[in-house]
A and B are shown apart, each in its own frame.
Chain A
Amino acid sequence: MTTVTPVAPEWRTKSAKQTRLAFGQALLEIAARELRAVVLSADTQDLLGIRPYIERYGDRFIELGIAEQNAIGVASGLATTGLRPYVCGYAPFLTARSMEQVRNDIAYANQRVVIGAAASGVSLGVAGGTHHALEDLALMRSFPNMTVIVPADVDEAYRATLATLDIDGPVYMRLGGRAEEPPVTDPEAPFHLGRAVQLRSGKDVAVIACGALVEMAVRASDALKREGIGVRVLNMHTIKPLDRNAILAAAVETGAIVTAEEHHLVGGLGGAVAELLAVEHPTRMRMVGMPDTFATVGPTNAVRAKYGMSAEGIVEACRAVLESKSIRS
């Protein structure tokens, strides 16, 4: 449905270094398995690495230009005809700008649309506040019917994208930007929607993390283990529906919870965990994430670290929650 430009060799490789490109590669496999799949772009063909898809499946590709509200509305209309749209775009624009289209046309109308949202968090750190998406999880998880997934690395992004084939409803897939996500998940493990993956065991404190913070949480756990502190790490790749059992088990068994995410402390993973624990099992908590300010400009990991979104920040949060636990007991 559009002019196909020549494909650069690097897009042909199967070695995506970023979750956003893993999403684009997974679309090739999805297209082969699901004839009803269609891919939409908001002038973001390279951002999500979909040129190989366009080359192979040009008749199932629709470029909609720099018009995210329209892209979401069109996706909804396509879905009503039985197609399975995958919308590619920038997280800040597909969520904040198009929020009413996502709410009404996708979530309220309960249409089977998958939103592939690249450049989330501060993954485009140098781009500045207009291009950061630090409120998207709060927005997206507030909508009924919506599934919200935050892959931790490239392999998980690929597997989670394939898993959307079986999700009967709208999906928000949060993807990264230019920074590479270090591998942290088991590439052979199947992806179970809504089921957290325990990456480290421990009885003293549990870190519940998503996205790029999962790998940092693992490093924090390993560092504290050397001091004799057992830190359980849960990769909470699905923010909605939330794995209540894994969270409650962690709270009961450790009595101290740290959440870690690349998102405002308002309304994201930390908020979701706190909402659950406040009702079901009040537990000492600390939250690692973006404080109530717009992030500074800079390289992604430097920006993350400035606000405590780092292995060191997670270690500090673990110490703080352990201290509060000992004061209480």
Chain B
Amino acid sequence: MHETREALLKRLEGQARQIRRNIWRALRAGGSGHAGGSSSAADILAALYFHRLCVRPKEPDWPERDRFVLSKGHANAALGAALAQAGFIEDSVLDRFYGFDSPFGMHPDIKVAGVEMCTGALGHGLAVAMGMALGARIQKQAFHSFVMLGDGELHEGSNWEAAMAASHYRLSNLTAIVDRNKISQSGPVADIIGIEPLGDKWRAFGWEVREIDGHNMSEIVDALDAVPLHPDRPTALIAHTIKGKGVSFAENTYLWHSNNVNDEIYARALAELGEP
């Protein structure tokens, strides 16, 4: 049965809302965490896991699967939510975030089904995803490798080593998604160390660039469906997002890069996010 575009967008928006609800649920379980950068990524993750990525939740190591590396590993609550909703892991795991011996600490661990790399130290994921893309080419596999980067993360110079090499090898099977929420741990990225003109930087490194509204599901879907944007170049999607998106008191403030979450805050957040 063919899904209409309207139905697709509605379904994905529902998954995104559920990811946000699960982010806050996981952070409440842990008592604190990265609400801001997790929430800004939620719509993109919904479009990836419930539309674009060709993966098998019951066969997480399937060799032909598309790869997704969350380089901004501090958004692990969002990844955990997506993996639980997609069926890679038990839903109950979300109630054990940061717990003793939990599969989910603050940052992703490759031992968890669906997690492709241990990340969290910033500036690692792009090189790793590039290796995955090269591995696909060498072994003549058709899968695509996606990596999500934070905008503050782009301060790490290792990203640009990988950006230079990926275009040298014309890795059209590699897509970097920049979660451009414009705020990092201490304040606005522009005030910490400015990264604009960001699109020009990626273009100068040989990437094909598209800028999208990272909360407009229609634009996200169109962009992900259009990947690769160029037959000989890797793709950079710069997704303009709002840190803490969906919960008014957490939006657009570095204070919610990471913060404590108690029962009362959780209830207020869920009230704003609405029913799934």
Contacts and interface: CB of A to CB of B under 8 A. Distances in A.
Given A65-B165, A74-B162, A81 B127 contact: no
Interface stretch (B88-96, B113-121, B191-199, B248-256): B113-121
A239 B185 CA distance: 40
B138 interface: yes
Given A80-B116, A105-B124, A109-B110, A74 B130 contact: yes
Contact of B162 (A73, A75, A83, A104): A73
Contact of A81 (B132, B161, B162): B132
B35 to A, nearest CB: 24
A81 B118 contact: no
A81 B117 contact: no
Contacts of A77: 117, 127-135, 145
Contacts, number: 102
A239 to B, nearest CB: 24
B165 A109 contact: no
Contacts of A171: none
A265 to B, nearest CB: 30
A74 B117 contact: no
Contact of A105 (B118, B135, B136): B118
In the complex, which range does the number of interface residues on chain B fall in? Answer: 20 to 34
Contacts of B121: 100, 104
A74 B138 contact: no
Contacts of B119: 104
B124 A101 contact: yes
A73 B132 CA distance: 10
A109 B73 CA distance: 14
Contact of B63 (A38, A69, A82): A82
Interface stretch (A56-64, A206-214, A217-225, A294-302): A56-64
A1 interface: yes
Interface in B141-179: 141, 145, 158, 161-162, 164-165, 169
Nearest to B159: A70
User: Which residue, of A64, A76, A77, has the highest number of chain B Cβ atoms within 10 A?
Assistant: A77
Contact of A76 (B117, B136, B139): B117
- Summarize A's interface: helix, strand, loop or mixed: helix
Nearest to A110: B110
A81 B136 contact: yes
A191 B152 CA distance: 48
A70 B116 contact: no
Contacts of B129: 77
A77 B161 CA distance: 15
A67 interface: yes
B139 A70 contact: no
Given A1-B169, A67-B165, A105-B128, A74 B110 contact: no
A65 B134 CA distance: 16
A81 B135 contact: yes
Contacts of A62: 134, 169
A328 B29 CA distance: 60
A78 interface: yes
B135 A109 contact: no
Contact of A108 (B118, B141, B162, B165): B118
Given A78-B135, A80-B128, 5 more contacts: A77-B117, A80-B117, A83-B138, A104-B121, A104-B124
